[in-house]
Structures are given as structure tokens and as C-alpha cells.
Amino acid sequence: MAAEDSAPQVFPNRFADAAGPSSTSLDRDRCRCVGHSVATRPATVSFHDDRQDTTSAGWRHLLALIDEAAADGRTVFKPFAEITGPERQQIVTLPPTIAKLNAVKHLVLYGTNLVRIPPEIGAMTNLEIFEPYTSHRLHWYPYELTRCAQLRHSTVSTRVLFGNVKFRPPFPALRPVTSPDDTDLSALAPGVWGADAVRTCSICAGPVDHELHQVWISRQVGTDVLPLLVNACSTACVAALPEPSTGYIPTPHTGGPDIVQPTGKSAF
């Protein structure tokens, strides 16, 4: 064997400039929600119930960075590269103001403490590259991400996703139909609903004011098949959903331990 054939390969870290300032304090919370194998996957899972502290320094810093990026029309946005470790731990979702970032083509959310992405990401219509890599508390994404029609490439830690093809962890159980008469859709428990409010339909973008239909669907977005949470205003909108990706649950569903998933590509 030639000497050059035995030399170890060196792979560059393309996220080296996205990790943020080094910190001796904790910058994200540990998460083992879905396990890491068939043997360790749980029988049931639920949404993270973290609520965003909008008075925290990290949240205010992120708001300022978004305003700055919207004002200068930048095409690459790596907000957590500029946020300290303690501040990064304070941020569990993105602000709705990301809707202003319609010039951004490349969004990097590397190594964050995020537990959910707001539906306003669907307004980032020029987004081409989406990289929430090693954000290990992101187990699902909003269906509104499919509105980013230019999105062609993603880098996601797929092992932490609900229903991932590696070992098929379960999905949180959803309530199939909810009336605003029974539940205040403007003040929800994130640990139950995946959001603190639902105002618009994930599919038609109309108001959700008569009933809420929540379903899961697994679809390819960018490079990866993602578990997408749909907040629909009607059965008609649910019926209008496209087919799920091949190899995943073949219809929209409400999750829970009784949902039978296809056999994974590898079981370990």
C-alpha cells in the first residue's frame, strides 16, 4: 500500500465559524428525548415544554441581530456565532421577526439550545441552505418550512428526529380536532401543542378560528426528510397535504405509541 493511501483523511470543520464564542459555562441543555438506538428509544415522547424568556439578554441580543441582518440585506445569517454561551442557553425558539429575513439564502443554527422553530420561517422565501446541525433538541420542524421553495440543501442531525429512519422513535400524540371554545389557541402549553399559540393555518395561511387540526407528516425538505407539524384550519386543508416521503408513515397522522412505522433501514 502506498504511503499516501494509508494517511488519515482530514475533514475540515465547515461550522468552525458558527459555534459562537467559547464558554466555560453551559450553553445548551442535555437531551435524550428520543434515545439513540432501537434499544434505547422510549415508548412515548412529548414536546419540550420550555417557554421562551423574552426578557433575557440572549433573546434581546438575538432580536437585535435579526434587525441588523434585515436592515443590511445580508444573504448569510449565523446569529449564534455572535452570542455568548450563557445567552445561547437562554434561547429556545427563534423570534417571529425572522419573517423579515427575506434576503437570507443561508441560515446556520449550529449547536443551539432551540427546541422549536416558529412558523414564520416560511416567510424566508429566498432560503436555499438550512443548517441546524447539532441542535440536538430540535426533534421536529414546522410545516411552514415547505414554503421556502428555494430550499435545496439542509444539514440536520437526523438521529434526534421523531420517526427518524435510523431507529424510528415515536411521535408525540396530537389532539386531532380542537375547538377554540374549548381551548384558547392564543395561550397554549408548548409541552402539549408544540407552540404557545396557533394563529394561522400551516397550509392555506388563513386564520385558525373555528377549529384546529394537528397532524404529523414526514416530507423531504432540502436534503433531509423531516417530521413536520401541521396546524390546519380544516379537514379540507389536511386532505390537501401532499403524500409523505416513501419509507415513512404513508399518511398524515396524529402520532402516539400506537402508530405503526415502517421498518427502519437499519436497526441497532
Contact 85, 26 (CB under 8 A): yes
Cell matching residue 261:
412505522
Domain positions in the chain are 15-239
For residue 11, the model assigns a pLDDT of 47
Per-residue pLDDT reduced to its tens digit, 220-267? 999 999 999 999 999 999 999 999 999 999 999 999 999 999 985 644
Using DSSP's 3-state secondary structure scheme, residue 66 falls into helix
For residue 1, the model assigns a pLDDT of 46
Provide the pairing of β-strand 141-142 with 153-154.
unpaired
For residue 180, the model assigns a pLDDT of 83
For residue 24, the model assigns a pLDDT of 66
User: For the chain, how far is it from start to end, CA to CA, in angstroms?
Assistant: 33
CA-closest candidate to residue 47, choices 92, 80, 109: 92
Q: Is 192 exposed, middle or buried (0-12, 13-18, 19+ CB in 10 A)?
A: middle
Considering the entire predicted model, what is its pTM? Answer: 0.91
pLDDT in tens, the chain (268 residues): 444 455 555 445 677 666 666 666 678 899 999 999 999 999 999 999 999 999 999 999 999 999 999 999 999 999 999 999 999 999 999 999 999 999 999 999 999 999 999 999 999 999 999 999 999 999 999 999 999 999 999 999 999 999 999 999 999 999 989 888 889 999 999 999 999 999 999 999 999 988 999 999 999 999 999 999 999 999 999 999 999 999 999 999 999 999 999 985 644 4
CA-closest candidate to residue 171, choices 267, 260, 257, 268: 257
Cell matching residue 224:
433531509
Strands ordered across the beta sheet of 129-131: 76-77, 106-108, 129-131, 153-154
For residue 84, the model assigns a pLDDT of 95
For residue 176, the model assigns a pLDDT of 82
